[in-house]
Amino acid sequence: MPASKGSDPSARSWRLLSSHGFVLFYVGLRPDCTVAEISDGLSLTRRSVWGTLGDLRGAGMINVRKEGRRHHYSVNYGARVGLSVMPEGVELRLMLRFLANRTLRLLDEDDGPAVADREAARASVERA
């Protein structure tokens, strides 16, 4: 009997514009962050963030580093994201860089977050 879709965390279906996408984008802009920081930054419960990070780790998109009792997360930019229009997928680095640059451009046009926050995000995108 084949395993049910829900039994394998990496086989779960989720979309980029979901909590998974938001967490991935947040970690990309703030590498080495913790569950508490992600939870506070995205207004999601810690339990929800923990589950989402587990799915992303299962898909090979997130790296984790343990320091004491805390886990610190970063993006595995070499991972591939599957898209229905591109079965071979696209490298995560390219997708996140595109989204980050577009977001930063929009923030520059508006009165978005403080300049220091935008500069830190820009530096994170450059490192990717």
Each residue of 25-46: pLDDT tens digit? 899 888 899 999 999 999 999 9
Does residue 112 contact residue 106 with C-beta atoms inside 8 Å?
A: yes
Check residue 14 and give its pLDDT.
Answer: 53
pLDDT tens-digit map of 47-68: 999 999 999 999 899 999 999 9
Instruction: For the domain made up of 13-127, give the CATH fold.
Output: Arc Repressor Mutant, subunit A (1.10.10)
Residue 75 has phi, psi (to 5 degrees) of -90, 140
* Structure confidence by residue, pLDDT tens digits, 77-128: 888 877 666 667 778 888 777 777 777 776 666 665 555 565 666 666 666 5
Q: Is 77 exposed, middle or buried (0-12, 13-18, 19+ CB in 10 A)?
A: middle
- Enclosing H/E stretch for 73: strand 70-75
pLDDT of residue 2: 41
Query: What's the predicted TM-score (pTM) here?
Result: 0.67
